[in-house]
Amino acid sequence: MPAIKPNIGDSRPIIRQLDEAAINRIAAGEVVERPASAVKELIENALDAGARRVDVAYADGGKTLIRVTDDGCGIEADALLLALSRHATSKIDGSDLLNIHTFGFRGEALPSLGAVGRLTLTSRVAGADAASLRVSGGQADPVRPAALGGGTVAELRDLFHATPARLKFMRSDRAEAQAIGDVVKRLAMAEPFVSFTLRDVSGGGEGRVMLRADAGTGDLFDALHSRLARIIGADFAENALRIEAEREGFALTGYAALPTYSRGSATTQFLYVNGRPVRDKLLYGALRAAYNDFLSRDRHPAAVLFLDCDPQLVDVNVHPAKSEVRFRDPGLPRGLIVSALRHGLAQAGHRASSTVAGATLGAMRPEPAHPSFRYQMERPAPGALRAAHAAQAPAFAEAMPVMARAPEPAPDPASEPAAESEERREYPLGAARGQVHENYIIAQTADGMVIVDQHAAHERLVYEKLKRQMAENAVAAQALLIPEIVELSDVEAARLLDMAPELAQLGLTLEPFGGGAVAVRETPAILGPVNAGAMLRDILDELDDLGDSSALQTRIEAVLSRIACHGSVRSGRWMRVEEMNALLREMEATPHSGQCNHGRPTYVELKLADIERLFGRT
């Protein structure tokens, strides 16, 4: 029995023009996905109007009320009705769709919001009276006078009342409110010189302030740093590295966190192109590649990066939500992000995240308080005190080799050489004072102490040395006695052969073998026997996903990491003071020595003030 096709009848289908209300409702399905989408469009309109203060209020997760108030230039009364017309905008003139310097340019947001909700637009320009226009379900009321000091107030009520089916796909009020908060935070980070306020007015009245970010002062980096500390947190701001680089028309600015300040998910990654928040897999892949050598697979870097370029070099008109972009030359922004971040991480040297020390101090707990016993003489006489110390000395001498290995007796502070005191002040990681459990080096600094994991630290040092040697001497290639032939499609073979010179520098030599076949003649010697077919397909998968591939480089570095792990100082090995100090000095001179090859910290620094606070000496 033939299948019935309900969309095809006996009569010929008739082509008809949809009415304006239906067109706007269809467009709203692309532009306004949820309340957070409406908030995004309204805030972007406010920023395009030059607003220096934006106040956002919502009720019931934005389902019943969204109100955005700004102090921008406003809209003239006779232009309000035109502003709510489809494809009417003041952002572009239509002559050049690539020369876009504003957030909005489609002219779809306001008519789409008016088509699916009850939108009231009140605005006033300088030197004129305020006016208000109300639109419900696509039907506009006459423009009326209003009272407003300046700027614009966009109030959207009963979102999706005109399309009740969309309400079934809405999430809970809490989830929608969280999405609104995320949108406001992203745009607030993009504009550190603009004040933002977010309120939940579900209960009526002034409501509850969910976010307040005052306008920053100083230069761009100072304002951005204070804004990130307010939105992401002080821990991120304290452990973030300043990023600033340029290359061939692209400029990259922002902050990227130290590898030891990694996260369990990618929620602390914010990327912007010409000030616009984007979710582009090419840029996220570049961020991941920059940290590839410092983090394990289950950890994610934290960064806020702004990529600026000539609008002619990037196309933002590829999706109604404008969250995706297309670059004319994708390799340029990707290479800039990778190189700038790696340069910034290298400049950080041996620095590790301050949150590591905070976690260490948090793990330390003072002994529980016991009822104190008072005696007639709380301060013994000097003779009795010397006798007590003499009685305790033998027991302490016997316990010391069990608890810690002291290569030499502790010096008397009164007779400490001046040179050694100067050494502690000169070197950031201080001077070695002992070794605990034959694995942890205790060093004294000018204002605290450092605990070093000797195996993790030496593993990073050996690994960096191996990488330098590989970069200087190239990757040794092992010629195959019988070349391995890998069958691929014509397109896949062409993509691999296009990057054959880059792969040859890594020890992988490819040659065409007719049709879609590729002959593998040499493989990196350090990898040993490899499955050439599987490796080539991994490279192709990465090319399809990110537009570039570092799969082979990653495999080689993984082998070097394993070699460094087996060739470094093992846990349980006793070290002399000279060896411990030499390790500390090499850590200070080696980039990335603050974390091991797997992203774990190699040392913890505790300030003397924090240690004294643990003992109640403050």
- The secondary structure of 397-449 as a DSSP string is HHHHHHH-B-SSPPPPGGG--HHHHHHHHHSTT-EEEEEETTTEEEEEETTEE
User: Of 506, 500, 508, whose CA–CA distance to 474 is shortest?
Assistant: 506
Tokens representing 327? Answer: 């670059």
At position 513, the amino acid (one-letter code) is: F
The two beta strands, 151-157 and 65-70, are: antiparallel
Tell me 308's DSSP state: E
CB 524 within 8 A of CB 504: no
Mean pLDDT in runs of 10 for the chain (618 residues)? 54 77 66 86 90 94 93 88 75 62 70 84 90 86 89 90 74 91 94 94 87 90 93 89 91 91 86 89 87 80 92 79 81 90 81 60 55 46 54 39 44 49 66 88 88 87 80 80 87 85 82 87 81 82 68 70 70 84 88 78 84 75
Angle ∠(291,361,231) on CA atoms, nearest 5: 50
pLDDT of residue 250: 92
Rounded Cα distance, 78 and 143, in Å: 8
Rounded Cα distance, 423 and 425, in Å: 5
CB 592 within 8 A of CB 467: no
Phi-psi region for residue 438, left (φ > 0), alpha (ψ -120 to 50) or beta?
A: left
CB 215 within 8 A of CB 193: yes
Tokens representing 269? Answer: 């990654």
Domains of the chain, first to last: 20-213 (3.30.565.10), 220-348 (3.30.230.10), 417-618 (3.30.1540.20)
Rounded Cα distance, 340 and 269, in Å: 16
Burial 8-30 (b: 16+ CB within 10 A, else e): eeeeeeeeeeeeeeebbbebbee
Tokens representing 80? Answer: 């309000």
User: Of 232, 355, 351, whose CA–CA distance to 302 is shortest?
Assistant: 232
